[in-house]
Amino acid sequence: MKLSWRRRIAVPLCAALLAAAACSGGTGDDENVTLDYWLWDDRQIPQYQECATAFTGQTGINVKITQYGWEDYWSNLNTQFAARRAPDVFTDHLAFYPSFVQNQVILPINEYVERDNVDLGQYYPGLADLWVGQDGKRYGLPKDWDTIALAYNSTMLADAGLSREDVWEATWNPTDGGTFEDIIARLSVDENGVRGNEPGFDPTKVATYGLSFDNPSNSASGQTSWGNFARSLGFELLADGNPWGTDYQFDDPRLAQTLDWFARMVKAGYVTPLADLQGVGYVSLFEAGDVALAINGSWAISSFTGISGVNVDFAPLPTGPQGRWSIYNGLADAISANTAHPDEAWQWVKYLASAECQNVVGEKAVVFPAIPASLEVGEQARERAGLDVSAYTTYLESQNTFLYPVTVNFDQVTQAVGAAVDEILLGNRPAAEALTAAQQQVDSIMGR
Amino acid sequence: MSERWQRVRHHPGAVAALFLLPAGFGFVVFYLWPALRALWMSFTDYNVLRGSGDWVGLQNYQDLAADPLFWHSMRVTALYVVLNIGVQTALALAMAVMMDRLTRSAVVRGVLVLPWLIPQVVVGLLWLWMLDPRLGVVNHALDWVGIGGQDFFGSPAQVIPTLAGVNTWRFVGYTALLIFAGLQMIPRHLYEAAALDGAGEWRTFWRVTLPLLRPVLALVLVLSVVGSFQVFDLVQVATGGIGGQPGGPANSSLVIYVYIFRHAFNFNNAGYAAAMSAVLAVLLAAVTFFIMRALRGSRSDLA
């Protein structure tokens, strides 16, 4: 039998303390099980703390929540896996879970799901399917979902003579940019107060950019930048299906057209140049009044609504030739293979994905819960706060969502594509050339 | 017992071994064993997540020779080292000589090492904010004096000089102190003799100070060259922006350790990362040997 290090130390220690009768652990009962639970989003700690407290009250199982920032989270998790000391339960992401499955460091939960009759139909359609591995086993229960929309500074919108409807009904195409290009042009203002659509606009001395987004080099899906625009041209990232495709299509001309349009907008002074995305980030720029429109994921709504002194509203992304699309992603909780308490870990995972905890998640209104009824709770909470986030939910109603890519080696693909996108946005290389080179690298990464 | 002790005492070798034991234990457990294990790993496809690897022979080394990003990151690192060492050593030498000739104030020396006391990660975040192209205080100042804003970490051309500059800011005081300590070992009477012979400050520096400082300079160079090859935390924190992929834009700040880290802990290719580390270790040994040899670092003209 394999003992955990804690127990190995605890046994002799208990022998020494036996006279004082101070030892309660190690007797085999599960009274004092404490699960380690990790997440990366600090905005979500309160809701899961509330769930954990209720869970402990019901089961007697304690949950210790630890949070790390996104980059640290994944490095730490990998080293903890290597040391076989990963947290019992942790928040999992579609970009990383394929390699966890491949290396068998997380536990399949399909047997638990069957045993406890968890209703997979209670979640938004599609979310539960993402967490089934290539081996047909289930590795997670959905707990939230996210889409992408635009956050805008409504004062600036009014100053530019634009209305909410103008943004909501915006159209886009890569040739002339549609009404969306007009909108970001009008929202851009140079240091002399000249707008982007007026003669004499100086693209090298821009005071306010029409559009900004997260540094695009950190995801090969273009989730919060080019991905949704390319999709609205009919572009599909994987030709052989998602999840578990391997045939990436980065050399698709529609993607090149999309990125060329972005590069042209940077040059025109309507979109923040890449250099500005390598600093403190687009939310700070929005807060400082240097940006009017920002492409933003629903998980970061509260970063914008929390800005004091700026009137923020949300609108969906513009409609392209093939419609209005948003990438659709969801998180789940995974159980580490090295956990000493798989049964207790499952109880916690099940609780996190249950209507009870999902209602708490909905109530806190930081992210969208995976259960529709819980989202209702969240909508009511937002309504009370006077917040309209229907921009993010419209895609679900019209069924214009596409799934986040679930493939192996996604990190390596990101490295290749991220650098190519950088070069395009810097204006150093035409998109078609940079993307063809990236596709060759991606093919060798995917073993094609 | 005392008899046995007597016997041990008469064997200096045994006594020496006794004293070397603690350090030797630490060396074997914490340096030799990990180094050998890393070397073994470099011949396997070791995966951190799986916790195991199969023997692949020289495959990793062949891949490495054909990996354009590996050579790119070596070039980036070399550029960083040259810029960093050049500026840092020249500045530190000037500061040390000025301290030696003008003031021996402990306060001045204390102020010089202040940046060195700040952890590198904090330094990185601090400069990321100060050098932000739009919101940073530095560009506001540059705008004000009419130079105009710079992109710093956001520009492929400026990111490495910027990183070298930040690192120089942090380390120059420390390097200056090392050189200053070396200057104190130069006998005063040599300066008096030089003055009597009519040598000015400039000539004294080139003919007296620099030749006698050579062994210390060699040590300082080895320490700082090896140290700057190891640059990692600053790049990891300060490039790519907050939450972005470090090493950007377009891999222009992808120094070798960031690339090694990426393979070991993001791609789970610990075998490949170990192979790159092995090549780097050989390279650093060669550079150290070259500096010591060229500057005759182990011999002093004072003797």
Closest chain B CA to residue A283: B242
Label residues A31-67 b or e (16+ Cβ within 10 Å = b): eebebbbbbbbebbeebbeebbeebeeeeebebebeb
Chain B residues with CB-CB distance to A281 below 8 A: 241-243
* pLDDT over 80 at B297, yes or no: no
Average pLDDT over residues A175-187: 96
Confirm whether B270 is domain-assigned.
yes
Task: For chain B, say whether A427 makes contact (Cβ under 8 Å).
Answer: no
In chain B, what percentage of residues exceed pLDDT 90? 55
Helix (H, G, I), strand (E, B) or coil at A145: strand
Average pLDDT over residues A305-313: 90
Task: For chain B, say whether A418 makes contact (Cβ under 8 Å).
Answer: yes
Residues A290, B250: C-beta atoms closer than 8 Å? no
pLDDT of residue A22: 39
Confirm whether B48 is domain-assigned.
no
Task: For chain B, say whether A236 makes contact (Cβ under 8 Å).
Answer: no
Residue B74 and residue B215 in one domain:
yes
Most A-contacting residue of B41, B76, B130, B134 (CB-CB within 10 A), to test interface:
B134
Q: What is the pLDDT of residues B25-61, one digit of tens each?
A: 999 999 999 999 999 999 999 988 888 889 999 999 9
Residue A152 and residue A267 in one domain:
yes
Average pLDDT over residues A343-349: 95
In eight-state DSSP terms, residue A266 is H
Closest by alpha carbon to A435, among A232, A257, A264, A200? A257
Closest-CA distance of chain A to residue B238, Å: 8
Q: What is the pLDDT of residues B278-296, one digit of tens each?
A: 999 999 999 999 988 888 7
* pLDDT over 50 at A8, yes or no: no
Closest-CA distance of chain B to residue A447, Å: 15
**Number of structural domains found in chain B:** 2
* pLDDT class of A6 with cuts at 50, 70, 90: very low
Q: What is the pLDDT of residues A206-261, one digit of tens each?
A: 999 999 999 888 889 999 999 999 999 999 999 998 888 999 999 999 999 999 99
**Number of structural domains found in chain A:** 2
Candidate from A11-15, A50-54, A257-261, B27-31 with smallest mean pLDDT:
A11-15
* pLDDT over 50 at A368, yes or no: yes
Q: CA-CA distance, B39 to A24, in Å (whole number)?
A: 46
Confirm whether B300 is domain-assigned.
no
Residue A73 and residue A178 in one domain:
no
Confirm whether A19 is domain-assigned.
no
Confirm whether A5 is domain-assigned.
no
Residue A344 and residue A417 in one domain:
no
- Which amino acid makes up residue B188? R
Residue B34 and residue B104 in one domain:
no
Task: For chain B, say whether A60 makes contact (Cβ under 8 Å).
Answer: no
Residue A282 and residue A344 in one domain:
no
Residue A71 and residue A137 in one domain:
yes
Residue A275 and residue A377 in one domain:
no
Residue A142 and residue A200 in one domain:
no
Confirm whether A12 is domain-assigned.
no
Confirm whether A13 is domain-assigned.
no
Q: What is the pLDDT of residues A377-387, one digit of tens each?
A: 888 888 888 88
Task: For chain B, say whether A380 makes contact (Cβ under 8 Å).
Answer: no
* pLDDT over 90 at B9, yes or no: no
Residue B35 and residue B146 in one domain:
no
Residue B193 and residue B234 in one domain:
yes
Confirm whether B51 is domain-assigned.
no
Residue B27 and residue B160 in one domain:
no
pLDDT of residue A17: 40
Residue A33 and residue A91 in one domain:
yes
* pLDDT class of A18 with cuts at 50, 70, 90: very low
CATH code assigned at A93: 3.40.190.10
Say what the alpha-carbon torsion angle A102, A105, A106, A108 is, to the nearest 10 degrees: 60
pLDDT of residue A24: 39
Chain A residues with CB-CB distance to B249 below 8 A: 217, 274-275, 278, 422, 426
* pLDDT over 60 at A32, yes or no: yes
Angstrom CA distances, B209 to A135, A189, B26, B37, stand at: 72, 58, 39, 45
pLDDT of residue A12: 41
Are residues A140 and A348 in contact, defined by beta-carbon separation less than 8 angstroms?
Answer: no
Confirm whether A188 is domain-assigned.
yes
State the SS3 of B97-146.
HHHHHHCCCHHHHHHHCHHHHCCHHHHHHHHHHHCCCCCCHHHHHHHHCC
Domain span at residue B1 reads 1-41
pLDDT of residue A31: 62
CATH code assigned at B180: 1.10.3720.10
* pLDDT over 80 at A313, yes or no: yes
Residue B37 and residue B73 in one domain:
no
Confirm whether B62 is domain-assigned.
yes
Residue A60 and residue A194 in one domain:
no
Residue A63 and residue A207 in one domain:
no
Q: What is the pLDDT of residues B60-115, one digit of tens each?
A: 999 999 999 999 999 999 999 999 999 999 999 999 988 887 877 888 888 888 99
Confirm whether B303 is domain-assigned.
no
Closest-CA distance of chain B to residue A307, Å: 16
Residue B121 and residue B6 in one domain:
no
Residue B215 and residue B110 in one domain:
yes
Confirm whether B168 is domain-assigned.
yes
pLDDT of residue B36: 95
Residue A134 and residue A168 in one domain:
no
Domain span at residue A251 reads 148-328+394-445
* pLDDT over 70 at A307, yes or no: yes
* pLDDT over 70 at A10, yes or no: no
* pLDDT class of B303 with cuts at 50, 70, 90: low
Residue A264 and residue A375 in one domain:
no
* pLDDT class of A199 with cuts at 50, 70, 90: very high
Residue B9 and residue B75 in one domain:
no
Q: CA-CA distance, A196 to A269, in Å (whole number)?
A: 8
Residue B124 and residue B28 in one domain:
no
Confirm whether B114 is domain-assigned.
yes
